[in-house]
């Protein structure tokens, strides 16, 4: 009898707890309704917002509008998760293929004379970011590994991935990196549009831009034969992604397809695979949503105490990069818009979308941004270990908790 009386007492003593499972079940039903269908609607909404922004003449409309849509949905709590992994990987691979298609032999030859200034500017950008991060660590309750990893420009996904291994706060690093990407993705199109407002358009410079000769109403790739172009694009993305993972490249889903597309473009064996038109717009929508949905209320709430100094440091880095762009433009004769986009400390996907929309020299922008990404991912771990070995790290405070150099304390 004892085993049966205990459940009866529990039921009789707390009848108010009986309805609780129902809301929990309903919440589960609401939070897990056909995620594919939900994300399809969100992507369609981002595309519609891009169409509207384009009609009003907004620069980089599909990137900027979808970024704002993603951020609004995340802050309102409508979206609580990241872009689906297949969609994120596909967008990175397609962006890599698009980047590689711009690096034609003529573009590389034209960029060769500025190779030395380009390398110097890349090194100066990284040094500036590390210097500002060092000051941020001294002035705030942030460990030097977290500050450096959060401020270095380029390779956000790779930097966040290696943060825990380098004894940094992954949440702080991710927040700082994606806040920087979001700010640059929002401001770079506006700045580029302002700088190019009086400059003649150079839309014909893209191998797939204005030179589409295929038949039909919808063009998804640059070549005349849409089917073979789409098959070639799929092969470039698949082979590049596989090679990037096997070679352990930084951000393999982006760099791998870019290198394969570069080889295909330079050889001339696989022409006409660059995404254009509707496909290119969808890629930019995915990039914008992927950045925007990261800014949730919980993330902003947990980082609110660190937000002012981080924003100040980001502003200093951005202004410093603009100054380096001005020097680079003066030394090489490069238009300031191209130099600005090449040196801006933003996400390479967002910067490329801005370069395409503003008709900038995408080959130059891609070359400088890719060079900096590779250097950052390869050199930053060595710098972090050197800084960590110099002296003990201070505690860093995130969301009301104090964090040592190794783990979060509760």
pTM of the model: 0.64
Residue 208: pLDDT band (50, 70, 90) is very low
pLDDT at residue 302 is higher than 50: yes
Q: How confident is the model at residue 33 (pLDDT cuts 50, 70, 90)?
A: very low
Residue 240 has a pLDDT of 93
152 closest CA partner among 140, 393, 166, 141: 166
Residues 394, 110: Cα–Cα separation, whole Å? 47
Going by pLDDT thresholds of 50, 70 and 90, the confidence category of residue 6 is very low
Dig out the tokens for 248 from the structure.
């352990």
Average pLDDT (231-239) is 94
Residue 267 is predicted with a pLDDT of 85
DSSP one-letter code for 398: E
Band (pLDDT 50/70/90 cuts) for residue 9 is: very low
Q: Does position 300 have pLDDT exceeding 90, yes or no?
A: no
The per-residue pLDDT for 165 is: 65
Q: How confident is the model at residue 43 (pLDDT cuts 50, 70, 90)?
A: very high
Residues 317 and 132 sit within 8 Å (Cβ to Cβ): yes
CA gap 351, 186 in Å, rounded: 10
Q: Is the dihedral of CA 389, 395, 398, 401 positive or negative?
A: positive
Question: Looking at residue 142, what DSSP letter applies?
Answer: -
Question: Which pair of structure tokens corresponds to residue 385?
Answer: 């270990």
Query: Regarding predicted confidence, which is higher, 211 or 347?
Result: 347
**403 phi and psi, to 5 degrees?**
-120, 130
Check whether 283 has a pLDDT greater than 50. Answer: yes
Using CA atoms, how far apart are residues 155 and 250, in angstroms rounded to an integer? 7
Q: Among 384, 389, 391, which Cα is nearest to 162's?
A: 384
pLDDT band at 410 (very low <50, low <70, confident <90, very high): very low
Place of tokens 């995404």: 275
- pLDDT reading at 405 higher than 70: no
Cβ neighbours, 10 Å, residue 268: 9
Beta partners for residue 401, in sequence order: 398
Percent above pLDDT 90 for the chain = 12
- In percent, the amount of the chain with pLDDT more than 70 equals 75
DSSP codes of every residue in 144-211: HHHHHHHHS-S-HHHHHHTTTTTT--HHHHHHHHHHHHHHHHHHHHHHHHHHTTTS---GGGSTTSS-
Over the stretch 132-182, which tens digit does the pLDDT of each residue have? Answer: 988 888 876 688 888 888 888 876 656 765 666 677 777 788 788 878 877
Confidence of residue 26 (pLDDT cuts 50, 70, 90): very low
Cβ count within 10 A of residue 228: 15
- Residues 6 or more apart whose CB falls under 8 angstroms from that of 408 comprise 169, 398, 401
Give me the chain's average pLDDT, please.
76
User: How many other C-beta atoms lie within 10 A of the C-beta of residue 6?
Assistant: 10
Four-point Cα dihedral 10, 13, 15, 17, nearest 10: -60
**What pLDDT was estimated at residue 396?**
45
């Amino acid at each position: 009898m004892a085993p049966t009386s205990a459940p009866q007492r529990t039921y009789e003593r707390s009848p108010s707890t009986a309805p609780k499972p129902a809301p929990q079940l309903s919440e589960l039903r609401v939070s897990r309704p056909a995620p594919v269908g939900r994300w399809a609607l969100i992507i369609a909404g981002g595309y519609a917002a891009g169409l509207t922004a384009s009609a009003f003449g907004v620069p980089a409309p599909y990137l900027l509008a979808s970024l704002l849509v993603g951020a609004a949905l995340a802050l309102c709590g409508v979206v609580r998760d990241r872009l689906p992994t297949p969609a994120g990987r596909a967008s990175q691979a397609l962006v890599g293929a698009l980047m590689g298609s711009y690096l034609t032999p003529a573009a590389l030859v034209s960029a060769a004379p500025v190779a030395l200034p380009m390398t110097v500017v890349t090194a100066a950008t990284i040094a500036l970011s590390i210097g500002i991060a060092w000051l941020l660590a001294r002035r705030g309750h942030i460990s030097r590994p977290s500050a450096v990893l959060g401020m270095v420009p380029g390779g956000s996904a790779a930097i966040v991935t290696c943060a825990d291994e380098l004894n940094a706060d992954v949440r702080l690093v991710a927040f700082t990196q994606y806040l920087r990407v979001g700010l640059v993705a929002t401001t770079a199109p506006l700045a580029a549009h302002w700088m190019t407002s009086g400059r003649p358009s150079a839309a014909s410079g893209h191998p797939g831009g204005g030179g589409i000769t295929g038949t039909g109403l919808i063009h998804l790739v640059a070549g005349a034969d849409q089917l073979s172009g789409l098959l070639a694009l799929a092969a470039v993305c698949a082979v590049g992604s596989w090679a990037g993972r096997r070679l352990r490249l930084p951000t393999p889903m982006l760099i791998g397809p870019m290198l394969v597309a570069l080889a295909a473009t330079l050889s001339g064996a696989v022409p006409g695979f660059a995404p254009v038109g509707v496909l290119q717009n969808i890629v930019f929508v995915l990039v914008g949503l992927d950045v925007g949905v990261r800014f949730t209320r919980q993330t902003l709430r947990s980082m609110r105490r660190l937000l002012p100094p981080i924003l100040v440091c980001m502003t200093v880095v951005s202004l410093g990069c603009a100054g380096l762009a001005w020097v680079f433009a003066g030394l090489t004769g490069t238009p300031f818009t191209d130099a600005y986009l090449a040196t801006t400390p933003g996400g390479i996907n967002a910067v490329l979308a801005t370069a395409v929309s503003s008709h900038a020299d995408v080959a130059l922008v891609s070359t400088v941004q890719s060079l900096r990404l590779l250097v950052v991912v390869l050199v930053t771990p060595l710098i972090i270990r050197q800084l960590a070995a110099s002296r003990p790290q201070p505690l860093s405070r995130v969301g009301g908790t104090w964090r040592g150099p190794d783990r979060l304390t509760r």
